[in-house]
Amino acid sequence: MGRAVRGTVLAQVALLAQVALLAGVLTGCSESAEDGDAKPSAKPSASAAESATADAKDAVKSGGSVGAAGSACELPVTFDTAEKWQPEAIETEAPGGGSGSEEDELAAELAEGLLHQGPFTAACEIDAKPAGNIGFIRVWTGEAGAKVGEAQALLKEFVAAEGNTGKAEYSEFSSDSGVLGTEVAYLYTSEALEETKKERAFVTVTPDGPVVVHLGGLDTREHEDMLPAYELAKRTLSTA
């Protein structure tokens, strides 16, 4: 498994721990995000999604693929990655060996949130920084046994586990190779940063288990800049 990604996850844990501690000092308490708090510019739009899908076909070049045996991430599915985006498998072992302090406990809790979301476990991280953006496409896998008809329910569980989400819009899709799946566009509000941004994910169910491909981003602008890479993944999705 990739040491670089483990380092990325640990760095994110440290950063999030600092943000959470700072937020606690500044606000003294957390407030739940309401749908009405979302910025108008961050409102998900079905027409915008359709437009992004259409434009994406000519907006990004493939730089390789992940999922197959011998690739950077071996997965139940394969798909193309955008040019310059860097994929790396994720180690799911949470950091250990802490002193048992409050900071270590917070770091462990945040690590758990980064490595697991609902019934899914992080499996692959595709970094956009080499292409000039701040964000990732992350792939999450679930246990075998799910049925195709459960795809939307599984995706709803994934979104709900993220917390502070709203205005979710679900739709069905089919990749160029005929793989069926369910997609969601939604809003996520960070309590610590007091900011609402767009996020997007799709799920498909395979004999080896369901797979979620998720696109976040530093903010809504970064998210929209990275959409072509996400659309490339969805369009080229195939079973491994």
Interstrand relation of 120-127 and 116-117 (parallel, antiparallel or unpaired): antiparallel
pLDDT of residue 55 exceeding 80: no
Domains along the sequence of the chain with CATH: 32-91+115-239 (3.40.1000.10)
Residue with tokens 């990749």: 175
Residue with tokens 């499996």: 123
pLDDT of residue 99 exceeding 70: no
Query: Which pLDDT belongs to residue 231?
Result: 98
Which tens digits make up the pLDDT trace of 158-168?
999 999 999 99
Average pLDDT over residues 62-79: 97
Average pLDDT over residues 64-77: 97
Average pLDDT over residues 195-218: 97
Helix or strand or coil: residue 67?
Answer: strand
Write the DSSP assignment of 199-227 as a string of letters.
EEEEEEEETTEEEEEEE--SSHHHHHHHH
Percent of the chain with pLDDT over 70: 71
160 Cβ contact partners less than 8 Å away, ≥ 6 residues apart = 118
Which tens digits make up the pLDDT trace of 105-125?
777 777 776 799 999 999 999
Which tens digits make up the pLDDT trace of 178-194?
999 999 999 999 888 88
